[in-house]
Amino acid sequence: MKKFLLTFLTILTFSIGAAQTIDDLKAEKAEKNDSIAAIKSRVDALQKQIDTYPGWKIGAFGTLGANISSFNNWYSQGVPNNSSGNIGVTVNAFANLDRDTFFWKNSGNANLQWVKLDNKDIETDSEDFEGTTDVFTLTSLYGYKLSDKWAVSALGEYRTSLINNFNDPGYLDLGVGATWTPLENLVVVIHPLNYNFVFTSTDNIYESSAGAKIVADYTRKFGKLNLKSNFSTFQSYKSSDYSNFTWINSLGYTLWKGIGLGFEFGLRGNHQESLANAFAQAPDPIVVTPTFDNTENDLQTYWLFGLNYAF
């Protein structure tokens, strides 16, 4: 009987001790979870301060790999009308500095591709890889802040092709005016004092002139989706034939470890490029000399779809 009571008391004591130990462990776990939550809250607060700190913000995303594409009247490249399978790369990058009294925003866009080309304008095609998509733009904007939304600003923008006809034509806009930032990710540049320098070997077609420059740029990231839309136009004071615009929209969606799908769509209107293409396509000898009056200012378009990688 004594042995039974001793055994029973031993088991009861052990059970009570074990229960107390489990309760203590649970209490300690709850305490540590609270500590982890507090640490995470502090880390999130620090990250928010970093994200909103007025300093350099640098980023990029682009599309790499095999793509399908179609072009119609894209005169600044060697082959304006084609549909093709291709290998290429697009890159959208930015480096922005934001201070209390000024900002400096820099961006670049490049879309380069090489294809075995199905040229719609000729019967026989080359079997070599040729450069087709050829878009390159650099922009630098400096502004002195007058308020949270407005600044006096100076803009430099350079546009050309890299693979075909580098700097022929090339466009350099330099101007001053005002910049409006109604939203965190939207920048609108309004420069009534701007000069559009045109670099080319065909001086009888292209001409530099003074005019107004307007740029609207929207760049934002929604979770796994990267979005960039850039509209740039020059309105010449000399003649509407010397005006031009370019609108490029880029999307990148990340699926796995930075890899995803990318889409880019571009529009351009440039009567000088239309006239230059009309001269290039004219028969020899020229029966009717192309002029601005008898040459249509066709809308230039391109689109690109393929694999995307978020840098």
Name the band, by pLDDT with cuts 50, 70 and 90, for residue 12.
very low
Contact 25, 19 (CB under 8 A): no
Name the band, by pLDDT with cuts 50, 70 and 90, for residue 208.
very high
3-state secondary structure of 4: helix
- Burial grade of 157 (CB within 10 A; 0-12, 13-18, 19 or more): buried
In CATH, what number does 54-309 get? 2.40.230
Domain ranges of the chain: 1-53, 54-309
| Interatomic CA distance for residues 134 and 161, integer angstroms | 5
Taking only the tens place, the pLDDT of each residue in 260-311 is 888 888 999 999 999 988 888 888 778 788 888 989 899 999 888 877 766 5
3-state secondary structure of 91: strand
Taking only the tens place, the pLDDT of each residue in 50-90 is 555 567 888 877 776 666 677 788 877 777 887 777 777 78
Task: Check residue 106 and give its pLDDT.
Answer: 93
Mean pLDDT of the chain: 81
Of the candidates 147, 210, 133, 128, the one whose C-alpha atom is nearest the C-alpha of residue 176 is: 210
Average pLDDT over residues 245-273: 88
